[in-house]
Amino acid sequence: MFPGMFMRKPDKAAALKQLKVHVAMFGVWVAVVRVTPYILHYLSDEKEELKIDRLTRRELENEKNLQVPGSFFALV
């Protein structure tokens, strides 16, 4: 048959060592993904903070006297 079919199971110590390495690499990647937006915000020239308020159609019409199409804000 094929020689790869009858390979021995790896040693538990070696498997645990490899698992620790893979968990550490995963942790590093999670940290990089979590920290990247903060670093990019710090390095950007624009220091303005973006604030998003969720307003209903009626609030928009009352505050800004705008006629908002009903189909666009129907889900709000």
Confidence check: pLDDT of 41 > 70: yes
Q: Please give the residue that has the higher pLDDT: either 41 or 20.
A: 20
Write down the pLDDT at residue 42.
Answer: 84
Q: Where are the domains of the chain?
A: 14-59
Burial 30-49 (b: 16+ CB within 10 A, else e): eeeeeeeeeeeeeeeeeeee
d(CA 46, CA 52): 17
pLDDT confidence of residue 30: 97
CA distance 54 to 60: 10
- pTM over 0.75, yes/no: no
Q: Considering only residues 45 and 41, tell me which one the structure prediction assigns the higher pLDDT.
A: 41
* Of 22 and 9, more confident: 22
Closest CA to 72 of 56, 50, 53: 56
Query: For all residues of the chain together, what is the average pLDDT?
Result: 78
